[in-house]
Copies of this chain bind each other. A is one copy, B any other.
Amino acid sequence: MLDFEYSIPTKIFFGQKKIGKIGPEIKKYAARVLLVYGKVSIKKIGLYDKLIKVLKNSNITYKELTGIKPNPRITNVRKGIKLCRAHSLELILAVGGGSVIDCAKAIAAGFYYNSDPWDFFSKKAQIEKALPIGVVLTLAATGSEMNGFSVISNQETQEKLAAGSEVLRPRFSFLDPSCTFTVSKKHTAAGVVDIYSHVLEQYFCLTEGTFIQDKLAEAILETCIKYGPIALREPKNYPARANLMWASSLALNGLLTYGKIGDWSTHYIEHQISAVYDLTHGVGLAILTPYWMEYVLDKKTLPKFVEYARKVWSIDEADEFAAAKEGIEKTRDFFNRLGMPKTLSEVGVEDKRLVDMAKKITSFGPVGSFRELKEQDVLKILKAAL
């Protein structure tokens, strides 16, 4: 186990009747907020009206930034920063899923930065200060509600890049599983894959002596395997939605990665595909993950694959390579049973773009640590997944 410094200060209000408490929480930091959200869905489920009522009752004034879409754009971040500066707003309240939260985080950081906020993502600048961020979550997927990461897309440069800082951790997040009852089958499934993938990116690692982290990781994987299919079959099943929502936060708040090193190759690769094709993140991960697994399986990585196969999929095949491969196939099957496609062609990715994408993915150097991938490795994975 590696040394680590643990800090997860985000407060979580979990349940169906917590929203009334958001007034006092906001008041600790601000009297004027920027409300960031997508558009229709939070109005459809009545969340918007409830929230506005609470804000008014608490004498909190607000400006709105709406129309945030999946793969949130740097253009929206710039807009948000202008709004905050023009109206001296003091807290960013994100109401939505990961895209909305990530956009809110980039605004919060950009507020204190004198140049273009894309600098944080292109690694020209470090995030050191940010406005406080609050969250009302409506999708179980990215874990952004409890961590310090933000992923933003730039259409001009066709890039989708991540930035992170402890100052981006939300001060509080409201998690009401019933807010996800109306999430479509496709996005429910993509969310489950996203959670599952976050865990795998941390689970597949060569650091030794991380038994406790690995068992905790398996707990979250089993939660996805149990409740993913139930949430698809019964969208209003509260225990399913509750377990998945809590899984999304715990999968990426740091708990599983403290003491070890994550891999994250599949995420790097997927981000580039999303940047070009505006794909739903979880869909891209579902396609790529089994191909990544097949590519990185070798003598050195075998023991971890065997552990995964035996513990998560109860595979008792004695031959270790065969067991590992069975585990990979089980993973692919699970994603397919959730309705995810199997190949990049199915979602419109073209062969002619792969070379360029592989180059961009490795533009900051090789990706991954479980097995380091250079440009040619990435290209091979992309071609296999096509």
A319 at the B interface (CB under 8 A): no
Across the interface, name the chain B residue whose C-beta is closest to A17.
B3
Partner of A239, one of B12, B211, B215, B227: B211
Cβ contacts A205-241/B at 8 Å (1 or 0 each) = 0001101100110111011001100000000001100
Residues in B with CB closer than 8 Å to A255 are 255
Q: Does B5 contact A239, Cβ atoms closer than 8 Å?
A: no
Report the contact-size class of chain A (Cβ under 8 Å from the partner): 35 or more
**A2 interfacial by beta-carbon distance below 8 Å:** yes
Q: Which of A107-115, A242-250, A283-291, A347-355 contacts B (4 or more CB under 8 A)?
A: A242-250
Question: In the docked arrangement, what's the CA distance between A378 and B247, Å?
Answer: 37
From B9, B17, B18, B219, A9 is in contact (CB under 8 Å) with B9
Q: Pick the contact of A1: B5, B226, B243 (CB < 8 A).
A: B243
Q: Is A365 an interface residue (CB 8 A)?
A: no
In the complex, chain B residues whose CB is within 8 Å of the CB of A218:
215, 219
Q: With an 8 A cutoff between CB atoms, is A259 at the interface?
A: yes
Contacting pair A13 B5 (CB below 8 A)? yes
Q: In this assembly, does A20 line the interface, its C-beta being within 8 Å of a C-beta of chain B?
A: no
CA distance A243 to B238 in the complex (A): 34
Q: Given the known A-B contacts A9-B9, A219-B218, A219-B219, are A212 and B243 also in contact in the complex, defined by CB atoms under 8 Å?
A: yes
A14 at the interface (CB under 8 A from B): yes
Please tell me if A24 contacts chain B, counting CB pairs below 8 Å.
no
A7 within 8 A of partner (CB): yes
By a CB distance below 8 angstroms, the chain B residues around A16 are 3
Could you list some 16 contacts between A and B, CB below 8 A? A1-B242, A1-B243, A5-B14, A5-B18, A6-B12, A9-B9, A209-B238, A211-B222, A211-B223, A212-B243, A216-B216, A216-B250, A218-B219, A219-B219, A246-B259, A255-B255
